Amino acid sequence: MTDGNGGASADLSGRVALVTGASRGIGAVTARALAAAGARVIVTDIADVDGMAAEIGGLGLRQDVTSEADWIETMAFARAEAGGLDILVNNAGIFALKPLVDTSLEEWRHMQSINVEGVFLGCKHAIPLLAERASRWAGGGAIVNMSSIAGMVGGANTVCYGTSKGAVRLLTKSLAIEVASLRIRVNSVHPGFIETAMGDQAIAAFSRSADMSEQDMRDQFARAHALGHNGQPGHVADGIVFLASDRAAFITGTELVIDGGMIAQ
Ligand code: NAP
């Protein structure tokens, strides 16, 4: 670990990072940011990632985060093609806006399988690889799990999503205690409204349920952030790179809220 006297580096040279759900949105921008910080980045997604991998000079692999077989294959790929793993960003996720009473058991399970089980499987299969190389780095190995402000405060018609993101928050804290002795840090990230395809999907759903235009809903979201505007994927990526780096060497089991002050109010 660092000596705590300042000067820890944000340079990720020599490190191997894996980002799930990285074909677009927050995952894609995070992969670019990790690569810019010097990491060799493996991008995975249920969608095609070859273009993304080529753009950042990284490696790409199709992966469904709900499949344990895919996780086993992805870890074998990381070991064979990149020599191991130092940073895992469990980013893949889905969103839905629906009242609890209208949510089918299948819809509930589908969301939990991606947003929660995907994170569980990622941590489970990455920890042995992260532990192997953790002593190389002042800040050890790092897992960053994608939660949301919806995992910290309640909201109507988001019970299914909020439950999944709340589970990720507590999975992160308990796991951080469990693997601290392996020199692996585990933290969660909690964005506010971020302009991505999922953000567009959320705006469309919220505006339909409130009978408002999408532009009015987007403006309402912007006003709900104390800073007066919605977030961009890069705002979240910057926080993830920080948590993955030695600058966060004494930070584990905590949550980084990146929401322009939305839930501080
Ligand atoms: P996005 O643009 O929809 O990107 C999510 C990516 O995950 C997509 O490429 C999606 O692929 C992929 N994915 C979905 N299911 C998958 C699976 N089973 N296996 C592998 N990949 C899968 O969303 P985003 O806005 O960047 O969100 C990224 C993360 O941030 C999510 O966990 C989300 O909950 C969280 N978040 C977002 C916001 C926001 O306002 N945007 C706020 C708070 C938290 P397909 O499109 O092919 O399904």
CA of 5 from ligand 1 middle (Å) equals: 37
CA nearest ligand 1 atom 8, residue:
21
Residue 104: CB atoms within 10 A of its CB come to 9
Q: Answer whether residue 3 is part of any domain.
A: no
| Helix axis angle, 159-179 to 118-133, nearest 10° | 20
Residue 218 domain flag:
no
pLDDT tens digits, 168-186: 999 999 999 999 999 999 9
Give the confidence band of 7 by pLDDT, cuts at 50, 70, 90.
Answer: confident
| Distances in whole angstroms, Cα of residue 200 to Cα of each of 108, 205, 216 | 21, 9, 13
- Does 202 map to a domain? no
Q: What is the pLDDT of residues 77-131, one digit of tens each?
A: 999 999 999 999 999 999 999 999 999 999 999 999 999 999 999 999 999 999 9
46 lines ligand 1 (CB under 6 A): yes
Instruction: Please identify every residue annotated as catalytic.
Output: 161
Q: What is the pLDDT of residue 6?
A: 83
43 lines ligand 1 (CB under 6 A): no
pLDDT given at position 1: 53
Tell me, using a 6 A CB cutoff, whether residue 96 lines ligand 1.
no
pLDDT at 216: 97
Query: Computed over its alpha carbons, how large is the radius of gyration of the chain?
Result: 18
Asked whether residue 236 carries a pLDDT value surpassing 70, the answer given is yes
**For residue 35, is pLDDT > 70?**
yes
Is residue 204 a part of any domain in this protein? no
What would the pLDDT profile of 125-177 be if each residue is shown by its tens digit? 999 999 999 999 999 999 999 999 999 999 999 999 999 999 999 999 999 99
The total of other beta-carbon atoms located within 10 Å of residue 220's CB is 15
Using CB atoms within 10 A of its CB, is residue 213 exposed (0-12), middle (13-18) or buried (19+)? exposed
Task: Tokens for 121, please give them.
Answer: 């499987």
Q: Give the domain range for residue 244.
A: 16-192+231-257
**CATH number of domain containing 26:** 3.40.50.720
Q: Distance from first CA to last CA of the chain, Å, rounded?
A: 35
**Is 149 within a domain?**
yes
Query: For a substitution probing ligand 1, which of 94, 152, 262 has the most ligand atoms within 8 Å of its CB?
Result: 94
Centroid of ligand 1 to alpha carbon of 23 (angstroms): 9
Looking at ligand 1, which atom is closest to the CA of residue 149?
43
Share of the chain above pLDDT 90, in %: 96
In a domain, 50, yes or no: yes
Q: Does ligand 1 lie within 6 Å of residue 144's CB atom?
A: no
Distance CA 106, CA 77 (A): 32
- pLDDT at residue 232, as a whole number: 98
In a domain, 114, yes or no: yes
CA distances from 58 to 176, 237, 263 (A): 28, 17, 36
What residue owns the CA closest to ligand 1's atom 31? Answer: 93
Domain count, the chain: 1
For the stretch 194-216, pLDDT in tens is 999 999 999 999 999 999 999 99
User: Residue of the nearest CA to atom 17 in ligand 1?
Assistant: 64
Mean pLDDT value across residues 42-60 = 98
- Ligand 1 contacts CB of residue 239 (under 6 A): no
Q: Do the domain assignments include residue 10?
A: no
Q: How far is the CA of 12 from the centre of ligand 1 (A)?
A: 24
Q: Rounded to 5 degrees, what are φ and ψ at 63?
A: -155, 130
Q: Is the CB of 94 under 6 A from ligand 1?
A: yes
